[in-house]
Amino acid sequence: MIFYSIKDSIKTVVGEVKNKIEVNSGIIIQSMTFTSKLFNNDFVDVTEYRLSNLKPIFHTSNNDQRFLTIVYGDTIHAIYRNVNDKRISNYAEAINNNLNYYESSVYQNIIRWLPLTDGYKKEFAIYNYDPNNRTGILNVKITDVISEKYQTKNSGVRDIWQVTEVYEGLETVHFIDKEDRKLWKQEVNGGKLVMVREE
């Protein structure tokens, strides 16, 4: 998917996002790579979570600014290394293992797998680790789902679910194919940031 910023009707390419999902022995392995001319190296995230309940097992994220590893269980352990000042932070937090929550890096993919219908609403928990911001269990709200049409370049007009979700005050609109749940487009922050599937 191509990632754009839009300001004063001018669309600028920020980079490209590639997602890959595999299933192996009951474990979902999700890999995300973000490539941009604005950075020297790719941003690479890998997350493992259980197919049975979608609960996270492991997450790692590497980019030009920092390296992050999180291991999930009865206690969540995180190691964070700031590239600029070489500072290393260790974090541990006990958590109720009966709590249902998703990893913050994968919840937008999970939205595509929900039983979406017109008027569907849902609130669910995610875990986010960020030493520079909020860490812990946070809430995501799906506030609206409507049926719409989406014009693609090569696949014609597709029937889609237009899903609006809000996380930490930031609104994202997902354009999800009804037939195969492919994500065609995302609009973030009122359309100031847009991701579009290229055909």
Query: 115-125 pLDDT, tens per residue?
Result: 999 999 999 99
Buried b (16+ CB within 10 A) or exposed e, 122-138: eebebbbbeeeeeeeee
Ordered alpha helix ranges (H), 112-174: none
With a CB cutoff of 8 Å and minimum separation 6, the contacts of 186 are 1, 108, 172, 173, 174, 175, 194, 195
| CA nearest to 106, candidates 91, 126, 79 | 126
Q: Which domain holds residue 52?
A: 2-196
Consecutive H or E run containing 107: helix 107-111
Best mean pLDDT range from 65-69, 176-180, 187-191 = 176-180
Domain total in the chain: 1
Quote the pTM value. Answer: 0.91
| CA nearest to 44, candidates 53, 32, 28 | 32
Q: What is the pLDDT of residue 128?
A: 95
Q: What is the DSSP letter of 109?
A: H
Q: What is the pLDDT of residue 22?
A: 96
- pLDDT at 84 exceeding the cut of 90: no
Mean pLDDT of all residues in 142-148: 98
- pLDDT at 133 exceeding the cut of 90: no
